[in-house]
Amino acid sequence: MKNYLIHDEWKIIEEGFHPENNRISESIFSLGNGRKGGRGNFEEKYSGSTLPGNYIAGVYYPDKTRVGWWKNGYPEYFAKVLNAANWIGINVSVDGEELDLAKMLIESFRRELNMQEGTLSRTFIASFKNGKKVKVTSIRFLSIVTPEIGAIQYSVEPLNFDGKIKLTPFVDFDVQNEDSNYDEKFWVGEYIENIGNEGYLTAHTKKTKFLACSGMKYNVQLDGKEHAVQIANNSREKYIESTFEIKAKQNQVVRLFKYGVNTSSEYFSKSKLAFEAKEILNNAFETGFDQLLKEHRAAWAVKWENSDIQIESDVAAQQGIRFNIFQLNQTYTGEDERLNVGPKGFTGEKYGGTTYWDTEAYCLPFFLATAPQKVSKNLLIYRYKHLQKAIENAEKLGFKNGAALYPMVTINGEECHNEWEITFEEIHRNGAIAYAIYDYIRFTGDKEYLAPYGFEVLLALSRFWSQRVNWSEHKNKYVLLGVTGPNEYENNVNNNFHTSNMAVWTLKYTLEAIQYLKESHKDLYYKLCAENGFNEEDETNKWDDIIANMYYAWDNERKIFLQQDGFLDKELLPASQINPAERPISQHWSWDRILRSPYIKQADVLQSLYWFEEKYDKEFIERHFDFYEPITVHESSLSSCVHTVLAAKIGRPEKAYEMYLRTARLDLDDYNSDTEDGLHITSMGGTWLAFVIGLGGMRVLKDQLHFDPILPKGWSAYSFKINFRGAHLKIKVSDNKVRISNLSDEKINLSVNDKSITLIGHSIEVI
């Protein structure tokens, strides 16, 4: 765990240069706008440890799978969102000496992410070996108004000398993914233009043939006045630069405004890509830095208006929750149904920018409650559009009749992960995709989503489960063999409770959906049956049988569901007995030892209890929590959010708070020693749900919102905002009081601490 960032309500601040933490900071200070993003790398050259990273949404490369022994069914490739052109680069030299923070004496370094405004800034004083000192300040942003645009204001001031400041803004497409399986470069350069203060490069990806164009245009000021410079331009394959030198007197500020553009064939026709890039870049250039920034800030203000959470009297917690919200909003805007939320978003290479069950299980609630309905609907449509590929994916494994197995990892609907156990066995993800449909409809009331989108997906999922189970003569029950539950620290287990539970629940929910469609959309329903070759009676008879006769491992002594058949054979020692120096165990123990241990990576049985809590009473949940929580090591970032919700539910506010803090500051404090790989973006959705569902006690029951909040010790108050079916609500919780403001015109009935209230438009109720 690290603690080098300054606590502040709206900013993330690194004061003093921490080269040993630079990769962590690069992740934390990442910027994104839903369409592209990049790590908080320095603009100027840095020869210390760094992971340069700029990523374009949806542009990927299928990197050929690397395994020891090939097995039938292995995915051919692991999809990677590519490291794309470095557009931020500005090399600096002063009287012939290169500015490189790894080689200089650095004073008053400050790096700051302003979450309210969506900007990243830096200021430092650096001394060269010859004693010359310069002050550098920079501020940059990726516009959320014009997502192709990014802009940088970069200033150099000689502090104790008159000298020549040479600046070289560049765009470099000659970049590589650190995690490339075969050390390959994925971009092939095409077009180059580099004239005056403006330049463009296009490159296409090998195999996938995406085309991207990146360009720059700049202007220079000396002491706040436009300054004409003598330019020398250079280019080579996949690289352009423009160099000029300015004579500056002591304390004169040389300021470069660099505008970057990025267009891709995902949004523009290939033949016009460079042309469009030029148009957009020139418009931005004409608009100017200050105006672009003003519009960008205003757009962020709207985002915050809908999604901010305020915590009084706990700055660390306040910073934590805003950081999570900020990063989620930077990653996904919901405008494009082809995009999704990658576990690392635009902040690193790990997980390849692909989609996991994380989106449905952990991110959906945030977008449901804080963004327009189309945003969460697009997350569902993403999977609907991948249905055919999910059916093909299941066919490859021997399933038939339209059964679908969604990939554990995907970018285009195909499975693309190269770990056997995870890819094939974590089939519980199919349950999460069904649950997301339920969650969306429960929250929005949009039952029409079932016809046709939701129904077709549910049908294909149910067909999968009905073929994936088998009848055990021995148990006289249906069983689910050879699976991996959410707890990846056990593989190929039998009857993982969560997986079996999701299978049965999906069958039941599909039956309910069928009932609804028969009642409300009869013609469409029968049309869909015909199109999907669905013989309701034949197929649902088996579903009913599975629902009635599914086997769940159960411990009669403890009266708990077991995570899997063999769980009690393990030596059930609490995680508190693990030598702290050996944690996280994933980084210290052999895989063999982990698999045999009782330690649980993330909520597994508890995941099901969280999703279906209304089925169980408090004592039942408590028994499971008390059994599983002490052996859970939370080595997946997706664990503590579920534990927060359940701890709050069973009346353990301190535990809920402990778990909440762990998820909220996971990356800021580098809890799992892995923030350098990138941020845990999807677990940030988990943080939000830990807050609002856990601490805020929000539930939607029978079409109505309920709140049963707790106030953690040390907080005097907190508040959050929710969009619910046209109403916009602010819920403020303070000592013994809950204050609900209806900020919209809509009338809404809700329940607070079991008390029913009706709020007409623009009114406040205190309970």
Q: Which residues bind ligand BGC (CB under 6 A)?
A: 343, 351, 356-358, 486, 488, 601-602, 636, 638, 682
Query: Other CB atoms closer than 10 Å to residue 658's CB: what's the count?
Result: 15
Rounded to whole angstroms, what are the CA distances from 705 to 605, 652, 737? Answer: 26, 23, 18
CB of 638 to ligand BGC, least distance (A): 5
Identify which of residues 197 and 636 has a Cβ nearer to ligand BGC in the complex.
636
Identify which of residues 143 and 636 has a Cβ nearer to ligand BGC in the complex.
636
DSSP 3-state helix, strand, coil percentages of the chain (rounded to 5)?
35, 25, 35
Residues facing residue 11 across a β-bridge: 114
Could you tell me which residues come within 8 angstroms of residue 651 by beta carbon, excluding any fewer than 6 positions away?
618
CB of 631 to ligand BGC, least distance (A): 16
CB of 422 to ligand BGC, least distance (A): 8
Find the radius of gyration of the CA atoms of the chain.
27
**Kind plus residue range of the DSSP H or E element containing 527:** helix 522-531
CB of 661 to ligand BGC, least distance (A): 20
CB of 601 to ligand BGC, least distance (A): 6
User: Six-digit token pair at 696?
Assistant: 């805020």
Residues facing residue 139 across a β-bridge: 121, 153
CB < 8 Å & 24+ apart, contacts of 306-311: 306/370, 306/371, 306/721, 306/723, 306/728, 307/366, 307/370, 307/371, 307/721, 308/720, 308/721, 309/688, 309/691, 309/692, 309/718, 309/719, 309/720, 309/721, 310/718, 310/719, 310/720, 311/715, 311/717, 311/718
**Contact assessment for residue 450 and residue 517, using Cβ atoms and an 8 Å cutoff:** yes
Identify which of residues 157 and 604 has a Cβ nearer to ligand BGC in the complex.
604
Q: What count of Cα atoms within 13 Å lies in the side-chain half-sphere of residue 642?
A: 28
Identify which of residues 138 and 602 has a Cβ nearer to ligand BGC in the complex.
602
CB of 71 to ligand BGC, least distance (A): 21
Taking CB atoms, the residue at the shortest distance from ligand BGC is 343
CB of 605 to ligand BGC, least distance (A): 15
Could you tell me which residues come within 8 angstroms of residue 271 by beta carbon, excluding any fewer than 6 positions away?
none
List strands edge to edge, sheet with 239-248: 97-98, 90-94, 163-172, 239-248, 232-236
CB of 682 to ligand BGC, least distance (A): 5
Identify which of residues 154 and 610 has a Cβ nearer to ligand BGC in the complex.
610
Query: Other CB atoms closer than 10 Å to residue 562's CB: what's the count?
Result: 18
Identify which of residues 111 and 634 has a Cβ nearer to ligand BGC in the complex.
634
What is the C-alpha to C-alpha distance for residues 325 and 296, in angstroms, rounded to an integer?
17
What is the C-alpha to C-alpha distance for residues 341 and 355, in angstroms, rounded to an integer?
6
Query: Other CB atoms closer than 10 Å to residue 701's CB: what's the count?
Result: 10
Bridge pairing between strands 232-236 and 225-226: unpaired
Amino acid at 137: T
Identify which of residues 89 and 343 has a Cβ nearer to ligand BGC in the complex.
343
Identify which of residues 422 and 717 has a Cβ nearer to ligand BGC in the complex.
422
CB of 681 to ligand BGC, least distance (A): 9
Residues acting as catalytic residues: 488
The DSSP 8-state label assigned to residue 600 in this structure reads: B
Torsion, Cα of 144, 145, 149, 150 (10° steps):
-50
